[in-house]
Structure 1
Amino acid sequence: MDKHNIETVFNKYLHPIDEGILMKLAERFEIDKYVKKLGVVPFVKLFIYAQLKQISSLTDISFELNKDPNIQKEIGLDSISKSQLSRKLRDIPPEIFEALLRHLILMVRQKYGLRKGNQKLRKLHLIDSSTITLSLKEHPWAPKNRYTSGIKLHTRVVFYDDITYLDDLIITPARPADLTQLDPLLVKVQGAFHVFDRGYFDFKVFEMLCSRGIRFATRIKDNTFIRVVEEVKLSKSSSILREAIVFLGKMKHPLRLIETVDSEGNKIQIVVNDAKISAEEVSTIYRDRWKIELFFKWMKQHMVLKTMYGKSPNAVYNQVYMAMISFCLTLLIQADLLYKGSLLVLKKHLSKFSLDRYLSCKKELFKPPSRSSGGRKVYDHEQIFRETLKEVEEGTFRG
């Protein structure tokens, strides 16, 4: 925010956000026209602070600010009530925070998207959705079924060079099918590679992607009509069960059909329109689709998304955007620090030292461990991946 005041960890964390852009957005939507106290800038700072510290209620946000002069200094606000926070959260149009999120996504792309990846781990656009279940009584505007409400996060993330970052987000009530939001999530650039699951299975979409030279990989549905053109001979050492050139339904473009097994030994069938990569790489690429499931799981566990601050559509959507904004800010500071460790460890470190001097926090973060024994790792991403993958394949994951 203030480019000359990045002395504390929190100021450094906020540094990518341009206050001028926020002020222009507030002026455009006339948000601060009659506001004397809680303008859009301190509001954004306060709710990003709440996401960083995982403060899950407006009452606690108000309490934290009112009792701590250091927080007041960082936010630029001496006190605030729960009711004032609730009104502001309800009254601000989500378009403001959507615009801010897209600005930060561009910055993340510049930091991570231009890094040179190796040939084996190419840049993948992973598309999926995740539902946040809400109370039907408190959120009747987003009915999911007879008993609950919910919103759906239609999401595209990029997995590239072992980094996963948010690339696009569309928030809707829970009922629209995933397929209705596929078109705006597609990267319509020749050569782009998309990976998505069977919720996006559509022959017309596949034809369009093939005709434009846009690559994709997905699993086929059990009742899909398949016309085999050619069986491809596999080497005896291959881990692939079968490869064939096929037509699906009434499609005019041929696809490669790859049969392999998942981590539990169950057979899966994948179709892909890239003729150059190996069948083994297709299997690896489709397995990497679970990175987006890990993204959803990470966001729900380590950002404030399971408990809603407000009941109105604006309040709910604004909270989701704030969580995603905070995620992008965490990635940006990770890039600035050149930190190679766990993103969760970094976030916890930033949260713990949020009001301390940035340089002191940096020294603490990179301080060598005090013991060299192979003690239990608190944050094991490989273990998290294996657990999530198993939950997804068994149908028990609630992403």
Structure 2
Amino acid sequence: MPKDTPIIDPADRIVSHKAKEIFSMIRRKHEISKLDLLHQSGLTVSTLTRVLEDLIASGLIEECGFGASTGGRRPILYRVRPDYGCSLGLDISRVSSRLVLLDLSGQKLASQVWDMHDKMTPDVLIKQVILQINQWKEEHPLLQQQLLGMGIGAVGPLNRFTGRIEQPEWFQAPGWRQVDIVARFEELLHIPVRLDNGANTAIVAESFADRMKNVRHMLYVHVGIGLRSAMMSDGKLIYGAIDMEGSLGQMIIQSDGLPYRTREGNHGCLDTYCSVYAIERELRSKLRMGRSSCLSSFVKPNEEVQLKHVLAALRHQDPLTTEIITQAATYFGIGLANLLNVLHPEKVVLGGPLMTNHDLYFYTATQTAIRKTYHYPDYQVVFSKGAFGEEAIAVGAALIIIDRLSHHNPGLQG
């Protein structure tokens, strides 16, 4: 494709404000009747009919049968047309990275995962992602114009406006600082690419899964090598002045406590007690002290305890590993209670490998948080591991591209 061919923002695919709003209403439902659209939109019958005809002609929606009769003619039902186009979502994290392909309805068509080992530099990952996308384009098959774009949910700090991953920590491979990731992918793929913090894209995915339940205030916390969080209020992401990756982990829970893993962090901060790093550190210490554990059979000579060993020991109900995980989850529950007492979300989604791979951390943390939440039981909060598990970041990244179809650009028609 010629380099001077313009990249089309999905926001420009639907011109009319009214059409964007109707399309958004249809997306929020698996299927919706014309009568419901009429009531929700406030449009006249003639205007709504014209908008629906335009969306059908564009291939974005389709009729899908008739609803139940309320005494008269059965209403026509509408839904998003899945094969209009596809969206890509890339999760760039420290343990593993993941690429997903979604159709327009949000259904996953394909997925690929890469281990972020010490050789997985930006150049290597970008090459692998491009190869996978080209393979999917042949398998499905997809025309270039059917690729709406690619969203990236990445470890920060990052700048979502410039598309740059700035100063992330704890990647095993070098080269992950000051990476113009959006520009590099747009040059190679020639599709629109958007960048956001992975916690933000994960909460977008979980909000989409709950779109029928009308959850207005949601908190997402990811527990991995570090801690990441995101908040939605009235269905909209809450952004701070800058991206502050890892700031949740700097919450002080013991002012004279253990030092942070680098000189820049706070003594006695949450990250030091409940992250993957903290669990690995404690288990290594206990093994050096001579504590017995089946971990000894999983860890090879001259190898350190890692997350994969921890999860294997948990599955074998290892007493030492269970003790350390319970301790870490209790500390995390204290930090979570602090968040609940300040933010008061309706729902909290907890993600990351410690949550999705075993129940112990999740249940210990949530029970601790409930006991320490002010005004409980008057204030009730729903805890969840989420609908998408480890795929939440990548799925949400793909969804932010589909969401652009309903985005209002200046100068569009009414």
| TM-score range for the pair, normalised by the shorter chain length | under 0.3
Q: Normalization by structure 2: what TM-score?
A: 0.25
Q: Normalization by structure 1: what TM-score?
A: 0.26
